[in-house]
Amino acid sequence: MSFRPFLALVLALTLALTLGAQPPRGMVVSQERLASEAGAEVLREGGSAVDAAVATAFALAVVHPAAGNLGGGGFLLSRPTRGQASFIDFREVAPASAHPRMWLKADGTYDEAKHHDSLASVGVPGTVAGLREAWRREGRLPWARLVEPAIRLAREGFVLSENQAASLAEQLPAFARHAPTLAQFSRKGSPLRAGDRLVQRDLARTLRRLAKDWTDFYRGRTAALIARDMAANGGPITAADLRGYRPVRREPLGGTYRGFELLAAPPPSSGGQVLIESLNLLEGFDLKAAGPGSPAAVHLAAEALRRAFADRAQFLGDPAFNPGIPLDRLLSKAHAAELRATIQPDRASVSDPARFSWELDRPHTTHLSVLDREGSAVSLTYTLEESYGLKRIVPGAGFLLNNELGDFNAVPGLTDATGRIGTPPNLARPGQRPLSSMCPVILVKDGSVLMVSGSPGGRTIPATVLATVLNVVDFGMDARAAVDAPRIHHQWLPDRIQVEATLPAATQEALKKMGHALKDVPKQGCAQVILVRHGQAEGAADTLRWSDSGAVGE
């Protein structure tokens, strides 16, 4: 070989090795591409993963009103390259007037409408305070810079996609019950269509106030608008409730699965407990040999989820009101071994609302994942509870209220086969945070972030996130395949496996023969995943289940 070709080969190999040693480029994955672009632009300017998450979350409050929000709450899990992992709990809290029997009628029967569709279902919002707290700890760029894209999108508007227009049109009858909501999300009562521009001027004004002073939401003009609406319409939230709201910094739950380190959400989210406990159970089975989507793999995953959700119902709640939650035991490998011994390899167990032992034989949320060029990661899930929350705009403020108190147990002492839970840990009390299923998660391998995942979907969230983890760790899938694969869910009660229609028919028939009841659904969740492979970040937005989702790199 002559010297010149040899030199070129050496230079090419050196460049390849150098590029391979570089940290993965930054990536933002969320349920709306416009929001992902807002976050990615922050990364390009040298912002941290938290900066990008904050910008993306504020933008989602504009372009994804079904779940992106100022009037809700959630959880932010951060794993910086340098320093300790942290978890910001900005879940909504019950107002001072809350009590366990607040959704019962005078005759003692349950009032579902009051629990889910009235101002009595609104929790004190935490999103603004939570995003600010995360930024205070790990932000680099100015706060106002992070809110600016959301202001622009609200003030100038954005063009509605087919998905967005259909989603708004579907909610039009509910919006019609409240004139300010109908005015914001329709054209004089008629549906907006794909290609129309949605402008939200009141929301833009609120965002401008928050860019200057975030406390406006809790003590200023915005707080006054919330309190006035509540007072005028018999709502429970007062100015004092708003002033008293505080996010909480908690220690993330930690676990391991087949040599990978897991960081997940602690209570008042049950997502981390269900995920880690399920993985601990499944660690004792050879899922790889069974194969993805096989009857054996689905059966074992369902049985693991069944047991983890039963523990959730018995023990989980806001730790401030339930100081004795036995997390160490629930997340231990020994507990998993005990439960694993109760799983029959070819027969479904039976969920009994009268007991939590085992014999030996609604909702709409959104998630975003961020990885910056230094390898720091954020997994953020937040929600209004149901799609568009209470379907009620705060007049003059332009944002929707949550109906998050619907996550409290409905009737004290009543747990039944329909899935209604009445166990004590999650009953409403003043200042308590309702139990959640949100499950932001970060996987670490050899000291570096391997995977960031999360999803909306109510109680199905841990199962969706579990599927993405199993698809990567056990089945060796890339990010795209891990997100697109069929999903299942079991939550103890009601006693059935929810399956996406794409799960093979042969698998479904085999599960029925094992004794499982099945419920087919067209789709489950909307996972947003970042996976680091070969030194590069793969972003997989769940376009199969929400086509507007987007993964945007630096």
The residues that are catalytic are: 365
521 to 385, 500, 514: CA distances (angstroms): 20, 5, 20
Strand blocks (E) in 360-493: 364-371, 377-385, 441-445, 448-453, 488-489
Yes or no: say if 149 and 41 are a contact pair by the CB < 8 Å rule.
yes
What whole-number distance in Å separates Cα of residue 1 and Cα of residue 522? 60
d(CA 8, CA 13): 9
Do 329 and 545 contact (CB within 8 A), yes or no?
A: no
Tokens in use for 8? 């070129």
Residue 108, Cβ density class (10 Å: 0-12 exposed, 13-18 middle, ≥19 buried): exposed
Q: How many Å apart are CA 202 and CA 198, to the nearest integer? A: 12
CA-based R_g, the chain, Å: 23
Closest of 426, 382, 376 to residue 406, by C-alpha: 426
Measured between alpha carbons, how far is 453 from 442 in angstroms, rounded to an integer? 6
User: What is the distance between the alpha carbons of residues 345 and 303, in angstroms, rounded to a whole number?
Assistant: 10
In the chain, the largest separation of any two C-alpha atoms, in whole Å, equals 95
> Considering only CA atoms, which of 463, 446, 451, 438 is closest in space to residue 521?
463
- Cis bond upstream, residue 323 (ω within 30): no
C-alpha 153, offset from chain centre: 23
